Amino acid sequence: MRTTRHLTALLLAAALVPSPALAAGAPCYRGVNLSGGEYGERGGTYGTNYTYPSEETIGYFAEKGMTIIRLPFRWERLQPALGGRLDEDELQRIKDTIGLIRKRGMAVLLDPHNFGYYDKTQVGTAPATDAAFGDFWARLAVEFANQEGIVFGLMNEPHDIKATDWLDAANAAIRSIRAVGARNLILVPGTAWSGAASWEKDVIGGANGAVMLGVRDPLDFYAYEVHQYLDADSSGTHPTCEGADAAVEAIAGVTAWLKRNHKRGFLGEFGASADKDCMSGLTEIYATMTGNGDVWLGWSYWAAGDWWPANEPFNVQPRKGPARPQMRLLAQSAKADAGTCSAVKPVGN
């Protein structure tokens, strides 16, 4: 599957000198997305229209060596009115789930899985203004401020919003998080679905790779979250992997960008079927991130969850019988990296 272009990109990533500030160790974030909390409409009934992962599911992935769970949920359920209080019942469900995950020693990446929207209103436009987005993050950050193993992912896959406008919204959220005293690690996506393959392309309102260098965090304790699938159009909706070479090159390209700009990255979503080309591409992506732990904080595979159908090609949810090939590869990669990890803490801690 290797191509000349792909090899050139990998060599470029390896040749660039890492920033000394980022070379203190390879953080140990190796995990999966446990979906279910983002299902259904905002008024859905818990246990009928949406769910959170069971203790059994959480335990399975802990036993497989995973060290982080990306936990999707709906912003509208957690904050039913913009500028208003968080819903106590929904917040408690999230807290209970976090408790189960932390009990098994894994970190949690909180993921408002809204694609840059509140209901059908794009972030940055009334009433879902940058101030409203910042208010949401201030309220959520207060609940989990400085708790060990809690990471804040600002938003899942913003799209159809100019990069410059998204930067303003992201910076508003970061200001709010830090204003309430929360020193948690923050993951910042770009626009255009935060795709790795398009990171340095001007998809809408400027390239993420240029515009998102404008992220401002007084603690400098953030990383960029990118996503990348291996099918032909990078959508993660097809069982075959005609785009595997391009996906591997995309991760190598982002690796080079991170090194060049002395930044950190996290691969928040990626996934593929057990097809031969898919597995080969996944193996190469793991190798690139493992070999560049100075800039990659880790990854979380998409996906698993108690309600995922058994016939979903990307699914690694445990079922009767042996673990799926993708899960075996995830576990092998996590085990290989386990002895080289260090805690992720703000500068000065």
Structural contact between residues 302 and 50, judged by C-beta atoms closer than 8 angstroms: no
Annotated domain spans of the chain: 4-10+25-342
What tokens were used for 256?
């080079």
Cα–Cα distance between 86 and 75 in angstroms, integer?
9
Structural contact between residues 143 and 184, judged by C-beta atoms closer than 8 angstroms: no
Cα–Cα distance between 285 and 252 in angstroms, integer?
8
Task: Cite the active site residues.
Answer: 157, 269
In this prediction, residue 6 carries a pLDDT of 47
pLDDT 10s per residue in the chain (349 long)? 444 444 444 444 443 333 333 334 455 799 999 999 999 999 999 999 999 999 999 999 999 999 999 999 999 999 999 999 999 999 999 999 999 999 999 999 999 999 999 999 999 999 999 999 999 999 999 999 999 999 999 999 999 999 999 999 999 999 999 999 999 999 999 999 999 999 999 999 999 999 999 999 999 999 999 999 998 888 888 989 999 999 999 999 999 999 999 999 999 999 999 999 999 999 999 999 989 988 999 999 999 999 998 889 999 999 888 899 999 999 998 887 776 555 566 655 4
Cα–Cα distance between 27 and 12 in angstroms, integer?
22
Q: What's phi and psi for 89, nearest 5 deg?
A: -65, -45
What tokens were used for 78?
């957690």
Give this prediction's pTM.
0.91
What tokens were used for 8?
């050139």
β-strand pairing of 117-118 with 121-122 = antiparallel
Print the SS3 string covering 36-96.
Answer: CCCCCCCCCCECCCECCCCHHHHHHHHHCCCCEEEEEECHHHHCCCCCCCCCHHHHHHHHH
Cα–Cα distance between 132 and 117 in angstroms, integer?
12
In this prediction, residue 321 carries a pLDDT of 82
Is the domain covering 4-10+25-342 a CATH 3.20.20.370 domain?
no
Structural contact between residues 204 and 161, judged by C-beta atoms closer than 8 angstroms: yes
Cα–Cα distance between 296 and 303 in angstroms, integer?
20
